[in-house]
Amino acid sequence: MRQFLETEQKALEINLDPRIYGSFAEIGAGQEVARYFFKVGAAAGTIAKTISAYDKVVSDDIYGREPSGRYVCESRLYKMLDHEYELLLDRLSGQRPDLCLFAFADTITTINYHRTIKGQGWMGMRFQLSPHAEPNEIVLHIELQDGNANLQQQAVGILGVNLLYACYRYHADYKELLASLLDKLEDRIRIDVVRMKGPDFEHIDNRLLLLSLIEQNLTDVAVFDKKGQPVHISEFLYKKNLLLVRGNYNPSTLLSLDMIRASAAQFRADFSRRAMDCFVMTEMTLDSLQGEENTTDEKNFLERARLLNHLGQYVMITDCDRYHKLIQYAFDYRIQHLGLVLENNLLLSLLSGKYERNKDGRLLTAFGEVFTRNVTLYAYPELKEGSGELLQTHNLPIPEGMRNLYQHLLDQRQIRDVEGYNEDVLHIRSREALRKIQAAEEGWEAMLSDRVARYIQERGAFGFPLESMEFDY
């Protein structure tokens, strides 16, 4: 059971540990982290150097220029870690061979006076757990939630102490490490990227780190790239269009791949002539990953995620069933236009849910959370179970009280049917495909692409019994 300590206690405990020694480099929000270690006393036992390269010219002279011209970005943080850690090794590894060296860095922007810029930034640690060992590394992207700059600076200081303490005290348990980062910071900071690497983290799949962020309510949205590495949308989607294809992908069937293909082609035709301006990403919600007891089967999650990566997909994990938090998140980072793809039964559930919850006159407000001028919902057709009726936007059973509003959204083309879909795959259900895979039932391959079927057979994924395979000797 983890003991909850005050921030000052954590800082003092680190200062009094004779093994831990390193440097602090902080850009943008002042030297808030180093300040804690100076304030509690015995800082000479921990701090080799602190630096705040606040002037851009000075910062460029030390760390080099950024091609993007941005200073609060991931590449800046890595340049700071590289530079400061190499200096430590050059200056101290021979002189102080008994030390575990670390370099802490952050580059943060706090909220501005007019509140047009929200506080956010990058923070990281490169550190040894034993003298002369290869270093480990933890990198975070954070969103600051306080309403003024002073409080945000304070929160950065607390988070930095929590991170340094966690690196040395909780490195063996990544879930405990992540939970400890928000000690004394509940509702003040969101962490939407965490990346760990190094000899003591080789056993950790970074996709599980992002899942843990969502499960522990450290963020509502997290993304990993086609290689399974955590990324932040501000680093590659600035002023671009984003299409999110929501599904459970358990597994990725011919139907789910057709959703991606057809909607992506339509989205690019609707909003850009250049494919590079439109980015397509698959989305899984926490609800779709959890079973009846609100627990997540991590093995099953990794199988879904790894298969999507195998198919060349970026993946977003969210806790945003009602979409408005996801939409706000996207536009906070300057997404130009957001497309959301979902099957018609999920569209009906979304619309009906908003109607039932807002019969007291707040219906327009509720729908305004989702249907802004820069959001389009793409509805993928569905065969109604039992009758085989084809459900599209024109024949959804919309509640009587919202039909006029729904028709307005159709007329404004904020809700659109997905065009160019493959009628031959509409009958496929992922749960039926999963059942057949697990039973090695004849015909399961016909519900999947050849590439997906081979992937499952070769790895025994999704419960496929390897002993059922026939081999030529």
Same domain, 300 and 401: yes
Range of the domain at 88: 7-204
Q: Is residue 215 part of a domain?
A: no
Strand partners of residue 224: 230, 315
**Within this chain, do residues 347 and 464 fall inside the same structural domain, yes or no?**
no
Indicate the residue type of 294. Answer: N
Q: What is the pLDDT of residue 469?
A: 62
Q: Give Cα separations from 101 to 198, 241, 290 (angstroms).
A: 14, 43, 40
Identify the CA nearest to 29 among candidates 142, 121, 116: 121
Which CA distances in Å does 168 have to 35, 173, 351, 369, 438?
19, 11, 48, 43, 42
Please answer whether residues 119 and 108 qualify as being in contact, where contact means their C-beta atoms are separated by less than 8 angstroms.
yes
Q: How far apart are the first and last CA of the chain?
A: 53
CB neighbourhood size of 396 (10 A): 17
Q: CA-CA distance, 297 to 308, in Å (whole number)?
A: 17
Residues 310 and 435 in one domain: no
Burial class (CB in 10 A: 0-12, 13-18, 19+), 344: buried
Claim to verify: residue 436 and residue 402 sit in the same structural domain? no
Supply the DSSP symbol for 101.
E
Please report the pLDDT score of residue 369 as a whole number.
Answer: 77
Same domain, 401 and 438: no
Answer yes or no: do 51 and 172 share one domain.
yes
Residue corresponding to tokens 């980015």: 279
* Residues whose CB falls within 8 Å of the CB of residue 110, separated by 6 or more in sequence, listed in order: 28, 29, 119, 144, 149, 152, 153, 156
Main-chain dihedrals φ then ψ at residue 265, nearest 5 degrees: -60, -40
Residues 6+ away with beta carbon under 8 Å from 77: 105, 106, 107, 122, 123, 124, 139
77 assigned to some structural domain: yes
Do 324 and 389 reside in the same domain of the chain? yes
**What are the φ and ψ backbone dihedral angles of 402, each rounded to 5 degrees?**
-125, 15
Going by C-beta distance under 8 Å and a sequence separation of 6 or more, which residues neighbour residue 293?
none
The bridge status of strand 20-27 relative to strand 278-285 is unpaired
pLDDT at 358: 67
171 and 181 in contact (C-beta within 8 Å)?
A: no
Query: What string of pLDDT tens digits covers the 473 residues of the chain?
Result: 678 899 999 999 999 999 999 999 999 888 999 999 999 999 999 999 999 998 999 999 999 999 988 999 999 999 999 999 999 999 999 999 999 999 999 999 999 888 888 899 999 999 999 999 999 999 999 999 999 999 999 999 999 999 999 999 999 999 999 999 999 999 999 999 999 999 999 999 999 999 999 999 999 999 999 999 999 999 999 889 999 999 999 999 999 999 999 999 999 999 876 656 899 999 999 999 998 777 899 999 999 999 999 999 999 999 987 788 899 999 999 899 999 999 998 888 888 776 666 665 566 666 777 888 799 999 999 998 778 889 999 999 988 888 888 899 999 999 999 999 999 999 999 999 999 999 999 999 999 999 999 999 999 999 999 876 654 44
Does residue 401 share a domain with residue 255? yes
State the CATH number of the domain containing residue 97.
3.90.950.20
> Could you tell me if 59 and 35 are in contact, meaning their C-beta atoms sit under 8 angstroms apart?
no
The pLDDT, as a whole number, for residue 322 is 76
Q: Is 196 helix (H, G, I), strand (E, B) or coil?
A: strand
Residue 420 contacts residue 266 (beta carbons within 8 Å) = yes
CATH number of 296's domain: 3.40.50
Q: Is residue 318 part of a domain?
A: yes
**458 and 402 in a common domain:** no
Collect all residues with Cβ–Cβ distance below 8 Å to 208 and sequence separation of at least 6: 174, 298, 301, 302
> Does residue 345 fall inside a structural domain?
yes
> Could you tell me if residue 132 is inside a domain?
yes
Q: Indicate whether 41 and 164 sit together in one domain.
A: yes
Q: CA-CA distance, 190 to 103, in Å (whole number)?
A: 23
Rounded CA-CA distance 10/40 in Å is 10
Specify whether the CB–CB gap between 461 and 455 falls below 8 A: yes
Asked if residue 111 belongs to a domain, the reply is yes
Please indicate, yes or no, whether residues 284 and 170 belong to a single structural domain of this protein: no
Is residue 111 located within the same domain as residue 58?
Answer: yes
Domain end residue (candidates: 188, 204, 220): 204
Q: Would residue 385 count as lying in a domain?
A: yes
Asked whether residue 41 is domain-assigned, the answer is yes
Name the amino acid, one letter, at 293. Answer: E
Give how many domains the chain has, as a whole number. 3
Non-local CB neighbours of 44 within 8 Å, separated by 6+ positions: none
DSSP state of 290: B
Residue 470 identity (one-letter amino acid):
E
Among 425, 444, 460, which residue terminates a domain?
425
